[in-house]
Structures are given as structure tokens and as C-alpha cells.
Structure 1
Amino acid sequence: MSTVFVVGSLNIDQNIRVHSLPRAGETVRGSDATFSPGGKGGNQAVAAARAGTDVRFTGAVGDDAHGRRILEVLTGARIDASHVRIIGTAATGTAVIAVDDQGENQIIVSPGANSALTAGDVDAGLAAVQAGDVLVLQLEIPAALVRQAARIAKSRGAFVILNAAPAPEQIDGLLDDVDLLVVNEQEIQVLAGLAGVPGSHRELVRTLAPVFGTDIVCTAGAEGSFTVVDGNFVHVPATKVAAKDTTGAGDTFVGYLASCLAGSPRELRAAMIYATRASALAVMRIGAMESIPWQRELPASAPSPAMPSLVVPN
């Protein structure tokens, strides 16, 4: 089976529960803070690994207790973390996450050691990537490194997935070597604004694809996810659950999606259904990385990542 390579961020999440998210200028009382491993790159790597795929991670943490804890979690998920560099001059990246009673969140990220990742780290981390592999990228590391990683993987025949989160301030070649763009309904609107293309998030899935030269999957929470396959609009409904915390849902979706696409043929609709079922389990739990389910926890009807050719009804 193919390998999923992830180049991205590793953070320690500072989690605070609140009754309602604060408005501008408002102070609200929250719970005592808890700390847990996270970062979009780390979360997506753990999701792909728990889905049953071999995963290799390239990133950076600080030489501190938070960094050591993150490395323990990656190792526990059976991820090859030999290309995670320990930075002595910067703290592990931090995300401050407020979650309300409906499970919605607000997140502030301080990059820390993630900003110390270098082009040399990316070269070394992707030295073994080859045709048939999948590369997963996000935007919590410098954009120049994202472009570099995509270029390397694409040149060797790998399938490149970019989760454009946080939404970029400019495109500038960011999508040149991307096969699949994964965004939520807010992020796709930002990208549409940069491209000067109007429309709802559903419309933009179709209209932005030829503009960017890449397939697009848009996730929209309770609305489910959307894409276009062979010219046909595809909607995968969300699984209805009682959400406790949506923090890790998008990353769970991306990681499971990548795992299911790490094979041949690549059936996008089947992968989206698989990823939807996994993210539904994640939102029923508290936290990001620790909320991500293992493959064995998914309903028996979920396709195995080794069998991505499941026939999905229209």
C-alpha cells in the first residue's frame, strides 16, 4: 500500500470550555485550561495512521515537555517521526482553543518551532516519496515550504492534497502542484475572493476547479461535503450526531480522506463517505488529536482504505 507523507505543523493545544464564544471586546468565564497535542499537520497525520495507512511526518517541535508529549503521541500512532526536528531555540507551537456548549470553536495559533522548519528539512523528509504515495499539506508552516513540498512530491508522481487552512492571504503559485484542494466554507470564500470569482461555497466547488487547475472538496459542517466528479456535482451528507467539540473534525476528515486515496483507483466519493464517518466520531469527543478514531471504531459499512473502489450510490 502507498505511504501518506505529511509536512506540517505540530502544536500543543490549550483548551478552554466556555458557555458561549466571546464577541469582540467581550470577556467570558471559561473552564480551567487543559493541554493536549494538536496542530493541523499532526492531527491529519494521526488520522491517516489510525485509518490504517503508513505515515511519515516532517515537522518541528521545541525542546520542551510539550514537544516530547507530541512525539510520544505520534509514535503511539505508529507514525514515522524521524524527520520531526527538535528546535532548541523556540518553544513548541501553541494553539489557544475556546469551545462553546454547541461544540463550535475559536482558535488562535502561535507558530513557535513550526516557523523554524527549513527547506532542508522538507528535502530530507520527502526523500523517499514516490509514485503512488500521497502528500498532505496545510498552511500552518511557511507557504514557501508548502510550495516546495508540493513541487517535490508532484515531480515524483505522488498525489498532492492541500488543506488550505488557515486561509491564505495570497495564492502566488500555491496551487500549481496540487491535485486536490480541501477547504471549508469560509476558506473557499477567501480563495474565491483572491481569484475574483463570486458564488456560494457549493457553486465555487465547480467554478473554482478550472480556475485553480485542481479538484476541490469543500466541507461545510452540518451540511456535509461537496465536490465534482466527472462533471457531476457530488454531495456527501454529514452524519447526524450530538457534537461535543468540532476542533478535530476537519483534520480527521482530511487524514481519513488521504488514507482512503492512498491506493488505486482513487475513488473520491467513497473516500469522502469514509472521512465523514470518521469525523462524526471525532466531534462526539473532546479535544483534537485525542478525539480522532481508530479504523476499528468506524461502522462496519465504512470502506477500508485498502478498498477505495467502493461503489457509492448517486
Structure 2
Amino acid sequence: MSKIIVIGSSNTDLAIKTDSIPEPGETVIGGKFMMTAGGKGANQAVAAARLGGDVAFVTKVGDDMFGDESRARYVKEGLPEKFLLVEKGTPSGMALITVDAKGENCIVVAPGANNTLSPADVDVVRGEIEAAEYLLMQFEVPMETVEHAAEIAAASGTKVILNPAPAAKLSEKLIANLYLVTPNRTECQLLSGLRIDSDEDARRAAARLMEMGARNVIITLGSRGSLVCTADGCTLVEACRVEAVDTTAAGDVFNGALCVALSEGRTLVEAARFASRASAISVTRMGAQSSIPYRAELER
């Protein structure tokens, strides 16, 4: 049984580096093109595996060449093949990504087989979820699937970590089952209903999420770092200073690394520091899974 279960999306990313992200109706000439593996769930699972986690990834791909390539790649990363499901007659998930000169990105996703990952699929891996220490999820698969998996995990004592991206409202049922929620600034504003313009605003927003039922909150604040909030108070963990090339998957690397550190017995603040180092390395490289570091790189 794996300590960490990741349930989520698998995509193939088509990315182009440009000087600027085009405005509506505008065409820009880009530079470097990359086709890489992506999807929030896959990014987080691969990050956890490369950083030394004992992890299994539950996902669904289509019966096409992109799905075949993805499954083979995940197995090579050490993720168990039996949880890499295939939906016949459906294309695999795809993402179109534009990255500007500052490393900021704009992403459009066609979910494909990700939309078919169902509560029934979760029931098949119920035993794995119940035996795990941590369950990590995001919102690129159906909400009902996320809620069902969280309910199973919470009932068995498995700690549920939710990265609420892309941004979406949380039901009372879901937030009550969360050990930890990890929104970025924009996502936290949507979830809490509070505008965040300062660290103090972020503290108030985190407190609101905890009042709603989440036991712990980590708000990722980009170059400011992350704000770790528990019942004992909030701690700002500063970001590592690097020159960003591409921020794609930085949040996913943070979440995967966070789970690994927690599974090794670190506190939330210690885990956030570990995750910050991992995500800092990732933004110095192009692509999603192509940017994810290995454990030896962090230790150096």
C-alpha cells in the first residue's frame, strides 16, 4: 500500500514560448515549441515520486497514442500501472499553453478522458485510499469524484489535501473532510470571498477557510512564498529567489513535494520549506513534468 494517493488529471501539454501572451484577436509569432506530459494530477504524482515519495496515481487517459505514451511514462516514473485507467472511445486530455518572456503562462485545457473519472472508479481503489496516509487531489476531474474520494479518505483517517485548482467553490461536505487546502492567492479569494492585497489579508482569508471547516490552510503567494496557517497561528515561509523561466506546474510541484515531506514526518512549516525549494527549481525550466526536480537536486 502506498503512503500517498494522488487522484487527478493526465494531459499532454502543447506549449509555445512567446515574448507576450496574445490579446483577444491578436496573433503573435512565438519561439520554442514543446510537447510535454502534464495535467495537475500527473504533475503532482510525478513530483511526489521523483522526490522520494511512496505514491500511487489514479487517473484516466483515452485509448489514443497520447494515452499510451502517458501510461508508459508514468510506469517509468515508478507509478503503479494498475491505477492508470483507460476510457475507450475518448481522447486523452490536452492543454494548450502560452508562456511569456517573464515566465507567466496562459493555459486552455480540453479534459477528454479526465471528465470520465467517476466515483465508481474511486470505489475500485477504496482499499488503497483507506490504507494511505495522505490523499492529494485537484479540480481537473469531476467534482463528484473529488467529493466521493474525500469522504472515503476522511472516514478512514487518511488525511485529505486539496489543491483547489482550477478555482471552484467548495461544498460544505468537501471542506469538512479536508486536512489541508492549498489555494493560491486568486483561488483563496474565490473560496473565502475576501480580497487579498497583503499578508494580513491572506491571514484573514485563511481564518475564514478554517471557520468553514478546513483544519489547515497553506496559501501560495508566488514570489512572496507561502502562508502556513494552523490552529496555532500563521507562518510566512519565504520563497527561494530564482530567475523564473516558466511557472507552469510550479504549484503542482509544491503540492507533490509537500505531501512527500509530510509523509516523512515533517511539520507543515517544514514541509512548506521543502516544497518551496522544489518549486523554485521547477520555474527555472520549461514545461510541466520536464521541469520537475529529483530528490538529489534538492539535497544538493
- Which residue in 2 is equivalent to 1:257? 258
What are structure 2's unaligned runs of at least 5 residues? none
Q: Give 1:282's aligned amino acid.
A: S
Could you tell me how far 1:32 is from its partner in structure 2?
5.8
Q: 1:212 to 1:172 in 2, by over 3 A?
A: closer
Asked whether the 8 Å contact 1:132–1:262 carries over to 2, the reply is no
Asked whether the 8 Å contact 1:2–1:263 carries over to 2, the reply is no
Could you tell me how far 1:211 is from its partner in structure 2?
2.2
Matched, 1:177 2:177: yes
In 2, Cα distance between the equivalents of 1:188 and 1:104? 19
- Which residue in 1 is equivalent to 2:20? 20
Q: Give 2:85's aligned amino acid.
A: R
- Which residue in 2 is equivalent to 1:311? none
- Which residue in 1 is equivalent to 2:9? 9
1:133-164 residue CA offsets vs partner (Å, 9 max, x unmatched): 11000000000000001111111111110000
Asked whether the 8 Å contact 2:182–2:217 carries over to 1, the reply is yes
Q: 1:50 to 1:110 in 2, by over 3 A?
A: same
- Which residue in 2 is equivalent to 1:98? 98
- Which residue in 2 is equivalent to 1:188? 188
In 1, Cα distance between the equivalents of 2:117 and 2:239? 36
- Which residue in 1 is equivalent to 2:242? 241
3-state SS of paired residue (1:9): coil
Q: Give 1:113's aligned amino acid.
A: A
Q: Give 2:26's aligned amino acid.
A: E
3-state SS of paired residue (1:22): coil
Asked whether the 8 Å contact 1:2–1:134 carries over to 2, the reply is no
1:45-79 residue CA offsets vs partner (Å, 9 max, x unmatched): 00111111111111100111111221122112111
Could you tell me how far 1:34 is from its partner in structure 2?
2.5
Identical positions, percent: 39
Could you tell me how far 1:83 is from its partner in structure 2?
1.4
Which has more helix, going by share of residues? 2
Q: Give 2:103's aligned amino acid.
A: G
Q: 1:237 to 1:32 in 2, by over 3 A?
A: closer
Could you tell me how far 1:80 is from its partner in structure 2?
1.3
- Which residue in 2 is equivalent to 1:50? 50
Q: Give 1:206's aligned amino acid.
A: A
Asked whether the 8 Å contact 2:47–2:293 carries over to 1, the reply is yes
1:216-265 residue CA offsets vs partner (Å, 9 max, x unmatched): 1010110100022442220011100011110011000000001111144x
- Which residue in 2 is equivalent to 1:226? 227
Asked whether the 8 Å contact 1:45–1:55 carries over to 2, the reply is yes
- Which residue in 1 is equivalent to 2:162? 162
In 1, Cα distance between the equivalents of 2:23 and 2:115? 29
Asked whether the 8 Å contact 2:58–2:83 carries over to 1, the reply is yes
Q: Give 1:262's aligned amino acid.
A: S
In 1, Cα distance between the equivalents of 2:82 and 2:107? 29
In 2, Cα distance between the equivalents of 1:135 and 1:155? 12
Matched, 1:291 2:282: no
Could you tell me how far 1:125 is from its partner in structure 2?
2.4
Q: 1:285 to 1:32 in 2, by over 3 A?
A: closer
Q: How does 1:208-219 map to 2 (within 5 A)?
A: 208-219=209-220
1:270-293 residue CA offsets vs partner (Å, 9 max, x unmatched): 000000000011011110011100
- Which residue in 2 is equivalent to 1:143? 143
Q: What CA RMSD, in Å, does the superposition of the two structures yield over aligned residues?
A: 1.8
Give the TM-score, by structure 2 length.
Answer: 0.93
In 1, Cα distance between the equivalents of 2:237 and 2:251? 14
Q: 1:96 to 1:216 in 2, by over 3 A?
A: same
Q: Give 2:114's aligned amino acid.
A: N
In 2, Cα distance between the equivalents of 1:82 and 1:107? 30
Q: Give 1:245's aligned amino acid.
A: D
3-state SS of paired residue (1:148): helix
- Which residue in 2 is equivalent to 1:310? none
